[in-house]
């Protein structure tokens, strides 16, 4: 199958900025990667780790100090200047974060411009450019100037332009970085469509974890090195739905007021079944006070303990104690998760064995069966993938509950569900403020 054929291969790439000068920077170290034809690959890592530099190597904008870049099996460093020019014009389409449109040219001419190279007549170029704009759903904008368009529309022109010479390979450098959520989602959907329905190979550079839902393969980049590569299970994106993705993108930026509800619901189902609506409502208010950090652990106990007429719940002391320890456990574990989450955002490839082992202990508390090292390792991987939103909640449950014979962990479905509920509570709690 052509899908198995390599389109881009980097071998032992080393690259320096300002080589030999006092401000020398070893920007890429021993890069070895292989990207297959038709693959939607991504370089994922924090700002400044060398992602764009890798694209410069691949597109021939910069040359490595040592090592080789292969395009369809051909050593790019052996290309003649003419071949390099052809490669850069015809082999690769580039998409940028800030669109890079020429402000004085119409949308149509921006898209037609790269075709100059093909030696087509002016009218032929415009005809083809119009076809591409049509495909992108922005034919009606052809006569406008870039500044007359929204960011989302400009990026669609940018994508159209990258397709001008019908290159097999498209390199997209943070294409969603300057877009609002809805347009960012559209852009990712367009890229995925190009990959799945037009057979394009796409290499996406991003530091936004939610984008990874769309790709087939992730190369984690850190300090100029690829620390890990990982194939992503194909996901049915229609099941995730646009709003969920947007939600995922928003997470972290804002306080998660609604997420307190997830925790209070969870506690309620365990401890307040059969209580009156008034009591359940009161219990939630008290729990929110604690998880938002408004009251201390001791005050939390007191509020659960004191009579209802005084604003408390009048619970038995033992029951109040149990609730306090359940909530404290969630607070502690969710802080672990949030530390893990932050570390992963900063250093996507970092091993977090110790941090995970605490979370794992908590998640598996309800599981009484036996576990092997292999199962525990696989379990940690599933949790990591879920923490990074690489897999959905449903797929997490599936991974845990499928039989070992088909690559699952072999938990019973109900255990998998319980573990998943525990994890989701931690993920949505985001309780870093509850520290008193």
Q: What, of ligand ADP, Mg ion, none, does residue 59 touch, CB below 5 to 8 Å by kind?
A: none
The helix or strand, by DSSP H or E, that contains position 128, with its residue range, turns out to be helix 122-135
Q: What mask, x for binding Mg ion by CB under 5 A, covers residues 42 to 61? A: ----------x---------
User: From the CB of residue 71, how many other CB atoms can be counted at a distance below 10 Å?
Assistant: 20
91: which DSSP letter?
Answer: I
The CA-atom distances, in angstroms, between 67 and each of 56, 70, 219, 306 are 14, 10, 18, 71
200 near ligand ADP (CB under 6 A): no
* Complex with ligand ADP: residue 51 or 213, whichever CB lies closer: 51
Q: What, of Mg ion, ligand ADP, none, does residue 48 touch, CB below 5 to 8 Å by kind?
A: ligand ADP
74 near ligand ADP (CB under 6 A): no
In angstroms, the CA 359 to CA 380 distance is 9
* Complex with Mg ion: residue 173 or 216, whichever CB lies closer: 173
* Complex with Mg ion: residue 174 or 333, whichever CB lies closer: 174
Q: What, of ligand ADP, Mg ion, none, does residue 167 touch, CB below 5 to 8 Å by kind?
A: none
Binding-site size for ligand ADP (CB under 6 A) equals 12
Q: Output the smallest distance, CB 23 to ligand ADP, in A.
A: 7
How much of the chain is helix, strand and coil, in % rounded to 5?
A: 55, 15, 30
Question: What value does the CA radius of gyration of the chain take, rounded to a whole number of Å?
Answer: 26
Contact 108, 143 (CB under 8 A): yes
DSSP β-bridge partners for residue 265: none
In the chain, the largest separation of any two C-alpha atoms, in whole Å, equals: 86
Q: What mask, x for binding ligand ADP by CB under 6 A, covers residues 6 to 25? A: -----------xx------x
Shortest Cβ contact with Mg ion: which residue?
52
Residue position matching structure tokens 């609730």: 323
Within positions 38 to 67, which residues make up the interface with ligand ADP, using CB under 6 A?
A: 45, 47-53
Contact residues toward Mg ion (CB under 5 A) are 52
Q: Which residues bind ligand ADP (CB under 6 A)?
A: 17-18, 25, 27, 45, 47-53
């Amino acid at each position: 199958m052509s899908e198995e054929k390599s389109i881009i291969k980097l071998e032992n790439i080393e690259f320096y900025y300002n080589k030999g000068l006092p401000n020398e920077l070893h920007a890429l170290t021993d890069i070895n990667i292989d990207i297959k034809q038709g693959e939607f690959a991504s370089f994922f890592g924090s700002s400044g780790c060398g992602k764009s530099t890798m694209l410069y190597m691949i597109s021939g904008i910069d040359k490595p100090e040592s090592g080789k870049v292969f395009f369809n099996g051909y050593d790019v460093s052996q290309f003649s200047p003419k071949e390099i020019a052809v490669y850069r014009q015809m082999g690769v389409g580039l998409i940028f974060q800030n669109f890079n449109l020429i402000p004085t040219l119409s949308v149509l001419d921006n898209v037609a411009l790269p075709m100059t190279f093909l030696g087509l007549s002016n009218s032929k170029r415009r005809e083809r450019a119009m076809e591409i704009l049509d495909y992108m759903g922005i034919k009606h904008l052809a006569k406008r100037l870039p500044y007359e368009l929204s960011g989302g529309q400009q990026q669609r022109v940018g994508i159209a332009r990258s397709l001008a010479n019908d290159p097999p390979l498209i390199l997209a450098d943070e294409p969603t970085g300057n877009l609002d959520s809805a347009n960012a989602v559209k852009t990712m959907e367009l890229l995925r469509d190009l990959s799945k329905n037009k057979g394009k190979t796409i290499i996406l550079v991003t530091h936004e974890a939610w984008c990874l839902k769309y790709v087939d393969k992730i190369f984690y980049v850190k300090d100029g090195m690829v620390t890990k590569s990982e194939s992503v299970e194909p996901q049915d994106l229609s099941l995730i739905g646009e709003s969920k993705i947007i939600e995922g993108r928003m997470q972290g930026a804002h306080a998660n007021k609604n997420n307190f509800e997830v925790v209070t619901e969870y506690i309620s189902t365990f401890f307040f079944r059969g209580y009156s609506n008034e009591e359940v409502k009161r219990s939630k208010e008290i729990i929110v006070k604690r998880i938002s950090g408004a009251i201390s652990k001791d005050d939390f106990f007191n509020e659960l303990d004191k009579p209802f007429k005084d604003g408390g719940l009048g619970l038995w002391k033992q029951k109040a104690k149990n609730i306090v320890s359940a909530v404290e456990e969630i607070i502690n574990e969710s802080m672990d998760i949030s530390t893990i989450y932050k570390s992963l955002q900063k250093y996507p490839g970092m091993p977090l064995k110790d941090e995970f082992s605490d979370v794992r202990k908590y998640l598996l508390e309800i599981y009484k069966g036996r576990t092997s090292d292999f199962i525990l390792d696989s379990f940690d991987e599933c949790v990591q993938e879920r923490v990074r939103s690489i897999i959905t909640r449903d797929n997490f449950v599936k991974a845990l509950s499928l039989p070992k014979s088909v690559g699952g962990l072999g938990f019973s479905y109900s255990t998998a569900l319980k573990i998943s509920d525990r994890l989701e509570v931690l993920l949505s709690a985001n309780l870093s403020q509850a520290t008193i």
